[in-house]
Amino acid sequence: MQCMAMIKISSKVEEAEWRTLQALAKESHQSISGLLTEAIRDFIRKRRLRPIVLSHLQDSISDNEEMGRGLVG
C-alpha cells in the first residue's frame, strides 16, 4: 500500500465521544489517527454513493412505472 501524505487537523468533539474513541483505539490496537482516517473515508464513500443509488432507484421506478400500475389496479 502506498504511503499517503498526512496533514494535521484540529477539531472539537464531545467529550463522551472522544473517550469512546480512545477506548476503541485501545481495544482494537489502532491509533486514533487511523480510526479517524477510516471513519472519514467511510463517511465520504457513503455520501458520494447515496446520490448515485438514489438516481438509479429513480430510474428504475420510472422504467417500471407502468408495470407497477398493473400490479395495483
Residues 50-70: tens digit of each pLDDT: 777 778 788 888 888 877 777
Give the separation between CA 29 and CA 23, rounded to whole angstroms: 10
Q: Where are the domains of the chain?
A: 29-63
Residue with cell 417500471: 64
Supply the DSSP string of the chain, one letter for each residue: -PPPP---------HHHHHHHHHHHHHHT--HHHHHHHHHHHHHHHHHHHHHHHHHHHHHHHHTHHHHHHHH-
Q: pLDDT per residue over 17-45, tens digit each? A: 999 999 999 999 999 999 999 999 999 98
Kindly report the pTM of this predicted structure: 0.61
